[in-house]
Amino acid sequence: MVMGLSYHSNRVGALAGVFVLLFPVFLPGLFSPFGHASPSTFSEWNTPKPRHLRLLKSALQRRSSKPDQSDLWAPLADEGWRPCVDSSKASSLPEKSEGYIQVFLDGGLNQQRMGICDAVAVAKILNATLVIPHLEVNPVWKDSSSFVDIFDVDHFINVLKDDISIVQELPAEFSWSTREYYATAIRATRVKTAPVHASAKWYLENVLPVLQSYGIAAIAPFSHRLAFENLPDEIQRLRCKVNFQALNFVPHIQELGDALINRLRYPLNKKEPTEGNYLSMTTDANEQRPLKFVVLHLRFDKDMAAHSACDFGGGKAEKLALAKYRQVLWQGRVLNSQFTDEELRSQGRCPLTPEEIGLLMAALGFDNNTRLYLASHKVYGGEARISTLRSLFPLMEDKKSLTSGSELAQIKGKASLLAAVDYYVSMHSDIFISASPGNMHNAMVGHRTYENLKTIRPNMALLGQLFMNKSIIWSDFQQATVEGHKNRQGQIRLRKPKQSIYTYPAPDCVCHA
């Protein structure tokens, strides 16, 4: 009888153990407080442990400080640079348009944004009428959002009305010129040979004849198809005008962004949002002083992790999963994979994990009272990987935690609209930090430079070397981090040859007074 009970107990215990292991698989939502932190492969269930435990323990014991009294939160010094878009001579439309220009843009929101700016510039170079750009369905996020779903088209046309002619739709005689038309066969009106960073001369020699022959030219693909060098000041400043003045988000994105900003600045007056009312969480400024907040763009998704070929501490299972994913997706074309993890880190080529960006922020002086907005889509490794960051910054929020169900429903599943909300909130934050370089990082660095806003750029090579030193103590790590980021907080950096005008707006977009 005793043996029977023992056997029964062991069996129940074994079943319970299996249930505990499988429980998060069947109910992952219970283990993911933030919507973007959802695991996607078996390897992520091997919970990654903190890789820098000595530093983490010290960071968790750091003292709190008052943000208003910290130099960290002080606005950028005025270096005397001002937007120079309006200083260019008045533009005038040509008497006769050479025809219609269509462009088909791929990539995510920020890559499409740069493509729109280039499309306006190309239309100006060719004296052509621009058709509102077509945004391709993103193959990763499956987002079919169009230009008018994301950007305020009336504002776009009005701001640029003195520079180029813009139409939302082609006239009936050209209605045949569609994406489907160009997908079925070789067409004389499609230009698919535009080289990356093509010159103005190339467009005049290769696209203008198509316009003059057919009255229309469709350029696809159109991503990074206009050079940054050897262009007239008028064209360069027009690109700036598009990026920083003409591209406003649609009103409901701005309203939702304003609501999130309000909830970050006035958290003590937080009320339960009324379904469908973006501005339901409001406050009286006399009742509470607005608080400062920082936006962290945490670019640590599966694509980023796989493409970097770095080791992120998830063990053999994670390494195998990333290697397989890398091979399937890029078929051996990831050049970083030929370097060791130590070489990649010392060169600053490994994206910072949530733990590492948290330690960077703690070393710079952000304490556990810091209001942090997380701008991110999906974190590789899920909640397990993001928990260390939250332990350092418990007042961490994101789109899901700050919105009602009906508010989120209007943008849920639309990667471009989700990214637009993050972009808008990022532009209104006191400080912006990006965990790793990328399109969002580049766009935000350029736009905030244009507005003279504080933007901290992690020193990837320095941090890679510091994190490899497993014996480093907190005081040394903190001192080296602070010293290594003194001149990486948004100060003007002049654009060098071949660098993007959208990341380095000086001296093309901002002029020294």
Query: Alpha helices of 75-169 — where are they, by DSSP H?
Result: 109-126, 147-150, 153-159
Q: Is residue 344 part of a domain?
A: yes
Q: Is residue 186 part of a domain?
A: yes
CB-CB neighbours of 386 under 10 Å: 26
Q: Which of 247, 279, 304 is the last residue of a domain?
A: 247
Cα–Cα distance for residue pair 309/313, rounded to 1 Å: 12
Same domain (yes/no): 304, 199: no
Same domain (yes/no): 259, 228: no
Same domain (yes/no): 207, 228: yes
CB 138 within 8 A of CB 106: yes
Residue 147: give the domain boundaries.
98-247
Q: Is residue 313 part of a domain?
A: yes
Cα–Cα distance for residue pair 70/4, rounded to 1 Å: 68
Query: DSSP class of residue 151?
Result: B
Q: Is residue 281 part of a domain?
A: no
CB 279 within 8 A of CB 414: no
* pLDDT one-digit tens code per residue, 21-31: 333 333 433 33
Structure token digits, residue 366: 């952000």
Same domain (yes/no): 72, 108: no
* pLDDT one-digit tens code per residue, 135-189: 998 777 788 999 999 999 999 999 999 999 999 999 999 999 999 999 999 999 9
pTM of the predicted protein model: 0.86
Cα–Cα distance for residue pair 412/314, rounded to 1 Å: 30
Cα–Cα distance for residue pair 463/437, rounded to 1 Å: 14
Same domain (yes/no): 234, 261: no
Same domain (yes/no): 371, 471: yes
φ, ψ (nearest 5 deg) of residue 293: -145, 155
Partners of 481 in the β-ladder? none
Q: What distance lies between CA 129 and its chain's CA centroid?
A: 30
Among candidates 374, 447, 377, 382, which has minimal Cα distance to 411? 377
Q: Is residue 42 part of a domain?
A: no
How many Cα neighbours within 13 Å face the side chain of 283? 21
Amino acid found at 441: H
Residue 387's contacts (CB-CB under 8 Å, 6 or more residues apart) are none
Domain count, the chain: 2
Q: Is residue 275 part of a domain?
A: no
Same domain (yes/no): 411, 499: yes
Amino acid found at 244: F
Whole-number pLDDT of residue 505: 96
CB 177 within 8 A of CB 216: yes
- Local confidence pLDDT in tens for the 513 residues of the chain: 444 444 444 444 444 443 333 333 334 333 333 434 333 443 444 667 889 999 999 999 987 766 555 789 999 999 999 998 654 455 678 778 999 999 999 989 999 999 999 999 999 999 999 999 999 987 777 889 999 999 999 999 999 999 999 999 999 999 999 999 999 999 999 999 999 999 999 999 999 999 999 999 999 999 999 999 999 999 999 999 999 999 999 999 999 999 999 999 999 755 444 444 444 444 444 567 899 999 999 988 888 888 888 888 888 888 888 888 888 877 767 766 678 889 889 888 899 999 999 999 999 999 999 999 999 878 888 888 899 999 999 999 999 999 999 999 989 889 999 999 999 999 999 999 998 888 999 999 999 999 999 999 999 999 999 999 999 999 999 999 999 999 999 999 999 999 999 999 999 999 987
CB-CB neighbours of 98 under 10 Å: 18
Q: Is residue 284 part of a domain?
A: no
Residues in the chain: 513
Coil, strand or helix: which one is 485? coil
- Provide the CATH number for the domain around residue 231: 3.40.50
Structure token digits, residue 384: 């397990």
Same domain (yes/no): 353, 451: yes
Q: Is residue 142 part of a domain?
A: yes
Same domain (yes/no): 233, 301: no
